[in-house]
Amino acid sequence: MTRAQGAARSAAYWIVPSLVCLLIHWRGFTAWFRADDFAWLGVGIHIQNFGDVLGALFSPQAQGTIRPWSERAFFMAGFSLFGLDALPFRIVIFATEFANLALVASIGNRLAGLRAAGFCAAVFWALNGSLVEPLGWVCVYNQVMCGFFLLLAFHFLLRYIETGRRRYNVCQWITFLLGFGALELNVVYPALAAGYTLLCARKYFRRTLPLSAVSIVYVFAHNALAPAQKTGDYAMHFTGAMARTLGKYWTWSVGPTFLFTPLGLPKWMLPAGVAMVSLGLVVFLAAKLRQSGAPRAALFCAAWYAVTIAPVLPLRDHLTEYYVFLPVIGLCWLGGWALAEAWRSGGRARVAATSLAALYAFMMVPEVLAASDWQYRITVRVRNLVEGVARAHELHPNQAILLDGVDTPLFWNGILDRPFRLFGLDHIYLAPGSEQRIDQHPDLGDINEFILPADVTAKALERDELEVYDARGPRLRNITQAYAAMPHDTKLPLRVDAASPLASYLLGPEWYPSDGDHRWMPKRATLRMAAPASVGQKLYLRGYCPEEQLRNGPVTVTVMVNGSNLPPAAIHPGERTFELSFPLPDPVAGSPELQVTVEVSRTFRPATDPRDLGLAFGVFEVR
Amino acid sequence: MNNAFPWRRLCCSALLLTLVFAPLGCKRKSKVRVQQTDEESPRMASTVHMGDPKAETQLVSGFYGIEGNAWRWTQRQFSVVLRPPVGSAAKGATLHVRLTVPDPVIAKLKTVSLFAAISGSTLAPETYTQPGTYTYTRDVAARLLTGESVRVDFGLDKAMPPSGADLRELGLVVLEIGLEPK
């Protein structure tokens, strides 16, 4: 082999897995944002001082997670530099994954002692269905980044063992510590390091133990800051369900996610394919363990899978396709090793291993392409909507925007997380009746929060305060004239968003003007809304009470409805966002309307605002 | 080592990428691109063609998605909003519904009757006993057509309930609903 050929082979060794990844996940690379992405993109939009920066970076959010690098800093920096341009985010995500693939190849090579094994492992991982979301959905970057820290730390451990040089141990420690900023899963790294050294480099085993102390401290500190959830989807169940969960994740690891294929294959084929690939891995592992002086690195590959999947097994009610993204690396090393070794030995082993690898690709690739395409298409719909609304606002800066024809996927991916606030738009609503077109998911959010009541819509159209757009097609279509000509319900609403300028006609003169996403009341304020049709309903008040207002103790809120005083409620220090409920007296049921008066026990005047402020609203709702 | 990880190359590539893409961030002024919208605000139509996706805004309730680019299944009750034609407030208009009664409907229900109601006034029903294509036509009094729009509610005496083959409640297949001047 000439020197040039050697260089070309070496380059191909590092580059081909990344090219395969880019090719297979091209739709993911060209996708836009959706759903939770918008929540994270907005994490820094209210930052005013250094304290806010620290809060945005390190305060627990979304199920108590603290991921300063992979979510907070990534989105804050990305949004401040590039706005809603997804390409730079994608470049970072794919660049990280390319580094991961190189590390997988490098580590696979070291584990098996075969260069081809690392290469095959990297290609197997690039083909795996669990990569679709980490690469195609920006908010799942935490998985990709966590993989980078885990693999890099492990790479440094291997180098430390190979060379004995202390600097590699220091690098391992630094990488491990930084990994906590990517994903909580980083806590398993000490188990990986200890497992490897125990199996393959016992001399170094004791030196890995201090890593565990850090993970233990992290677990306690994290639980103190963000206690584990006891109920809901993220509650942990240490029961026999963990075995069922493992079984499901195993099928998604060696076969396509959700055992889905767009190929219309007979039902038995995918489970059979999963069983065959699993059998191949088990046979290879058993063969390795039977060899005298066997390279126990094969057992470590299986241990990698077990250790990295273990933390998500108790999440019985929250099975997520990308939870196998990192565990499956262990199986890819094992599979890559099996293929490389079988290829070398030739004969039946080569045929069997090649057939299994082809079967794995046959199961994975169509599912990956279909899932990536779905991901891409929904993000394109969301982009059309968001960028169309931005244009509509340019054309009609003084009007609120009402969207008609929003369906289930568009709502949950493009409305729920309020992408419009990212460019300063608070008053984007869904047309009355939209709830009939959208499937409910109460665990994710309340569609009603986004719907403009019919009466408010009709009044706003009369006052020329609203532009109506049809969101059914790829381009927003202004249908204000036709929509205004349609008959509208003129009953008072059961839900009043006091922050909305469109609801001003329902508010008394005491209220201050809307501040976008909230509206301040003075000491006392009034409003009108619909009365409940039946008895036993409650009036709910939702809003915000700043720390400044609560500095002198609880604030008492008194509500009067149609002349009757309701039992007062209090907002206590620490409860900055509040929801108060007041049982409504029976006689108001069936009344033509509710006259609501709200009064707070005191007001405050901030240094930067000359107004006497009571509470910021918020929503009034009868239900 | 022959298989050593190419750190130097990786770092250089990362630095190069950073330098290449950094200007993208510096040049950006707006947080979001804008996409053209269709601002030619359409008037409400007097006749709604079921194959026209743009007409969906006038379908109030009771219609399923477009099929064959031309028609929609209805539920047992369905409603549309139409623009009264010019002069109809004085002379009245004719309501027409182009529809198909599919074979399975007659096979299952034997007969099906369609009626319409406008502002509380019920128009005479029509009963179909054979599968085929029909036009339901009724005169509408001028006094019912004085507004900018009129809501027309339709009802069937029965519909095919959801079944294993189709989980939807199915009424008729409708191609077009409209008001024509007299």
For residue range B68-98, what is the model confidence (pLDDT) as tens digits? 999 999 999 999 999 999 999 999 999 999 9
A593-619 confidence digits (pLDDT tens): 999 999 999 999 988 888 999 999 989
The mean pLDDT value for A34-60 works out to 83
Q: State which H helix or E strand residue B153 sits in.
A: strand B150-156
CB-nearest to B36 from A95, A99, A391 is: A391
CB-nearest to B44 from A87, A404, A485 is: A485
Q: Cβ distance A152 to B7 under 8 Å?
A: no
- Taking Cα atoms as reference points, which of A497, A532, A500, A530 lies closest to residue A618? A497
In the block, tokens 């047992």 appear at B76
Q: Cβ distance B150 to B119 under 8 Å?
A: yes
Give the residue on A whose Cα is nearest the Cα of B24: A82
Distance CA A419, CA A411 (A): 11
Distance CA A452, CA A497 (A): 9
From B131's Cα to the closest Cα of chain A, the distance in A is 31
Q: Which residues of A507-527 are buried (b: 16+ CB within 10 A; e: fewer)?
A: beeebbebeeeebbbbeebbb
3-state DSSP helix/strand/coil % of chain A, to nearest 5 = 60, 10, 30
- Taking Cα atoms as reference points, which of A497, A410, A455 lies closest to residue A593? A455
- Phi and psi, residue A590, nearest 5°: 85, 0
Give this complex's ipTM: 0.76
Strand, helix or coil for residue A480: helix
Mutate to test the interface with A, among B7, B31, B58, B83 (most CBs of A within 10 A): B31
Strand, helix or coil for residue A313: coil
A395 contacts in B (CB within 8 Å)? 37, 39
Contact A487 B151 (CB under 8 A): yes
Q: What is the DSSP letter of A59?
A: S
Give the residue on B whose Cα is nearest the Cα of A470: B57
Distance CA B13, CA B17 (A): 6
Distance CA A615, CA A358 (A): 64
The two tokens of residue A74 are: 């990534």
In the block, tokens 């990295």 appear at A308
Residues B120-124: contacts with CB under 8 Å, at least 24 apart:
B123/B95
Q: Is A478 exposed, middle or buried (0-12, 13-18, 19+ CB in 10 A)?
A: buried
Contact B3 A79 (CB under 8 A): no
- Taking Cα atoms as reference points, which of A385, A256, A262 lies closest to residue A321? A256
Distance CA A178, CA A159 (A): 19
Q: Cβ distance A261 to A270 under 8 Å?
A: yes
Helix axes of A86-112 and A3-24: crossing angle, nearest 10 degrees: 130
CATH class (in words) of the domain with range B47-181:
mainly beta
Q: Output the DSSP codes for A9-56.
A: HHHHHHHHHHHHHHHHTHHHHT----THHHHHHGGGTT--SHHHHHHH
Q: How many CB atoms lie within 10 A of CB A62?
A: 15
- Taking Cα atoms as reference points, which of A33, A34, A27 lies closest to residue A412? A34
Q: Output the DSSP codes for A117-168.
A: HHHHHHHHHHH-GGGHHHHHSGGGHHHHHHHHHHHHHHHHHHHHHHH--HHH
A329: confidence class by pLDDT, cuts 50, 70, 90: very high
Q: Cβ distance A604 to A613 under 8 Å?
A: yes
Contact B5 A88 (CB under 8 A): no
B1: confidence class by pLDDT, cuts 50, 70, 90: very low
Q: What is the DSSP letter of A98?
A: H
Look at the pTM and tell me if it is higher than 0.95.
no
B151 contacts in A (CB within 8 Å)? 486-487
A163 contacts in B (CB within 8 Å)? none
Q: State which H helix or E strand residue A388 sits in.
A: helix A347-395
CB-nearest to B41 from A91, A472, A478 is: A478
| Chain B residues bordering chain A (beta-carbon distance below 8 Å) | 3, 5-6, 10, 14, 17, 21, 24-26, 28, 30-44, 53-54, 56-58, 60-61, 81, 83, 147-149, 151
Q: Cβ distance B140 to B94 under 8 Å?
A: yes
Cα distances (angstroms) measured from residue A32 to each of A45, A84, A92, A94, A373: 20, 9, 14, 14, 12
B113-171 confidence digits (pLDDT tens): 999 999 889 999 999 999 999 999 999 999 999 888 899 999 999 999 988 778 899 99
Percent pLDDT > 70 in chain A is 99
A332-344 confidence digits (pLDDT tens): 999 999 999 999 9
Q: In A372-492, which ranges are E strands? A: 400-404, 428-430, 466-470, 477-478
Q: Rounded mean pLDDT of chain B?
A: 87
In the block, tokens 């990956």 appear at A368
The mean pLDDT value for A275-299 works out to 88
The two tokens of residue A457 are: 């819509």
A473 in contact with B, Cβ within 8 Å: yes
The mean pLDDT value for A542-557 works out to 90
Mutate to test the interface with B, among A3, A76, A391 (most CBs of B within 10 A): A391
**Structural domains of chain A in order of their starting residue, each with its CATH number:** 3-375 (no CATH), 396-489 (no CATH), 492-623 (2.60.120.260)
Distance CA B53, CA A539 (A): 40
- The sign of the torsion formed by the CA atoms of A367, A373, A376, A381 equals negative
In the block, tokens 């767009």 appear at A262
| Residue bearing the bigger pLDDT, A124 or B57 | A124
Contact A481 B42 (CB under 8 A): yes
A482 in contact with B, Cβ within 8 Å: yes
Strand, helix or coil for residue B126: strand
A383 in contact with B, Cβ within 8 Å: yes
A449-481 confidence digits (pLDDT tens): 999 999 999 999 999 999 999 999 899 999 998
Mutate to test the interface with B, among A483, A488, A489 (most CBs of B within 10 A): A483
Q: Is A55 exposed, middle or buried (0-12, 13-18, 19+ CB in 10 A)?
A: middle
Contact B42 A469 (CB under 8 A): no
A485 in contact with B, Cβ within 8 Å: yes
Q: Give me the residues of A, 440-469, that contact B with CB < 8 A.
A: 469
B147 contacts in A (CB within 8 Å)? 487
In terms of DSSP bridges, do strands A400-404 and A428-430 run parallel, antiparallel, or are they unpaired?
parallel
